[in-house]
Structure 1
């Protein structure tokens, strides 16, 4: 497996993988609403290619923000989707992509790199990467979600009540 910047992979290949991994109705999910109108953060989005150059998996990250009920706005990065070719899921590709992204985020100057959030399996993301729901209990998203699956990681992750929304003005996304 080779991990490369996602920008080096043709968009139709990425979209086809996302359809196979999540279904063609994936655009109706809350995560798509959160990041609507944004573009993936190139420095934090990657693809895994097998030895023959076939697309095995992708991870994308998006500029979002926490808009606190107290008026505080905190830039964040939404992690996901992490899409793996269905026939080779559970082979460690998702872990490798996520670890690669976390390493890139640790060295990044992208706004929000120290406040990551995602909607995902807490047993997986807590076990392998220390994501937790400790500070997300009062967060709101623009659509349905399971509170236990709203996870965050990073020193700048805000607590308290507020909404996660797209960060549309992102000069240094």
Structure 2
């Protein structure tokens, strides 16, 4: 049986090894890493999926900032990566982790401006993320514009850059 627990219950090195297996050892070069560079994950929104004590999945959420070209800065939460042990992918573990993190964001009052980089067909269909307000967004690296997805009442609908948030959530 899968148990979802705070990611703090897992050794950080175990999380890193899972991320390497799920995304490759070159994952640190991806744009998502640049967006959240230097920021710690938000502990109350980051979780591990454990099966008989073994790590089989993780989700981490990060404090980021939409630095609007109009001077308006919008604090946001970036979801991901969602990592699942390769042999366990398609077992619903990633979906369960996403739902758990989304529910935690709602419960903590941090669901107003959520974003991720991902497959719009999947994240739209199952979780309600869209690219409706992200057309003017820029990132500090290459990204397919259609994969910049967001949800929440406070999601900015203008031009601006995604960047690390210098004041993190506790």
Instruction: Please give the TM-score of this superposition, normalised by the length of structure 1.
Output: 0.96
CA distance in 2, matches of 1:168, 1:109: 20
> Which residue number in structure 1 is paired with residue 19 of structure 2?
18
SS in 2 for 1:148: helix
Alignment of 1:3-82 (within 5 A): 3-50=4-51, 52-82=52-82
SS in 1 for 2:19: helix
Q: Deviations over 1:109-156 (max 9, x none)?
A: 45xx31000000111100100000000000000000001100001111
SS in 2 for 1:98: helix
Alignment of 1:1-173 (within 5 A): 1-50=2-51, 52-110=52-110, 113-170=111-168, 172-173=169-170
CA distance in 1, matches of 2:152, 2:19: 27
Q: Deviations over 1:82-134 (max 9, x none)?
A: 00000010110000000000100001145xx3100000011110010000000
Pairwise CA distance, 1:76: 0.1
CA distance in 2, matches of 1:80, 1:70: 27
Q: How many residues align?
A: 169
Over 4 Å off, 4+ runs: none
SS in 1 for 2:53: coil
Pairwise CA distance, 1:80: 0.4
Alpha-carbon RMSD across the aligned residues, in angstroms, is 0.9
CA distance in 1, matches of 2:39, 2:109: 18
Task: In structure 1, list runs of 5 or more residues that go unmatched.
Answer: none
Instruction: Please give the TM-score of this superposition, normalised by the length of structure 2.
Output: 0.97
Q: Deviations over 1:62-95 (max 9, x none)?
A: 0001111000000000000000000010110000
